[in-house]
């Protein structure tokens, strides 16, 4: 099993209410973000690739444009612009590109990151007695 990771950067602003940072967090402020998208699988015998990274790059570019130089509070379907919601938002818009296993979003200037793994499939661990 292999896992490929491709990243992109974007600059964006947001404001967050109700944090322990108080007024500093509630004011509109900006960050440099780095998003990493990981794909897991086995290389195709013909191409030797888990995935054509060009296809992944196209999907990532669409999402980057939706977030780059934006006020994240105004991005539809994002919700409160936390690292948690940004990573979920990116996952949901890129998952069609292939076997996306995770999306991590980093705010390096704050030494923070969050990883979203997508919906977890429930496993049937029940033992049935006849």
Distance separating the N- and C-terminal Cα atoms of the chain: 37
CATH superfamily label, 2-116: 6-pyruvoyl tetrahydropterin synthase/QueD (3.30.479.10)
The whole-number pLDDT of residue 116 equals: 97
96 appears as a binding residue in the annotation = no
69 appears as a binding residue in the annotation = no
The whole-number pLDDT of residue 121 equals: 56
Query: Can you give the pLDDT of all 130 residues of the chain as single tens digits?
Result: 999 999 999 999 999 887 767 677 788 999 999 999 999 999 999 999 999 889 899 999 999 999 999 999 999 999 999 999 999 999 999 998 888 999 999 998 888 999 999 876 544 444 444 4
Q: Is the CA virtual torsion 46, 49, 51, 54 positive or negative?
A: negative
The whole-number pLDDT of residue 14 equals: 94
Return the ∠ at Cα 36 (arms to 30 and 42), rounded to 5°.
Answer: 170
Helical (H) or strand (E) element with 83? helix 83-94
**Cα distance between residue 123 and residue 121, in whole Å:** 6
The whole-number pLDDT of residue 120 equals: 67
């Amino acid at each position: 099993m292999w896992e490929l990771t491709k990243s992109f950067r974007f600059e964006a602003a947001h404001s967050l209410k109700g944090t322990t940072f108080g007024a500093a967090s509630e004011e509109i402020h900006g960050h440099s973000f780095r998003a990493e998208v990981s794909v897991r699988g086995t290389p195709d015998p013909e191409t030797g690739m888990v995935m054509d990274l060009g296809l992944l790059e196209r999907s990532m570019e669409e999402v980057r444009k939706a977030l780059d130089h934006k006020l994240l509070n105004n991005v539809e379907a994002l919700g409160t612009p936390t690292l948690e919601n940004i990573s979920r938002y990116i996952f949901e818009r890129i998952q069609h590109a292939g076997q996306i296993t995770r999306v991590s979003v980093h705010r390096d200037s704050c030494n923070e990151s969050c990883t979203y793994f997508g919906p977890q499939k429930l496993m049937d661990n029940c033992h049935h007695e006849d």
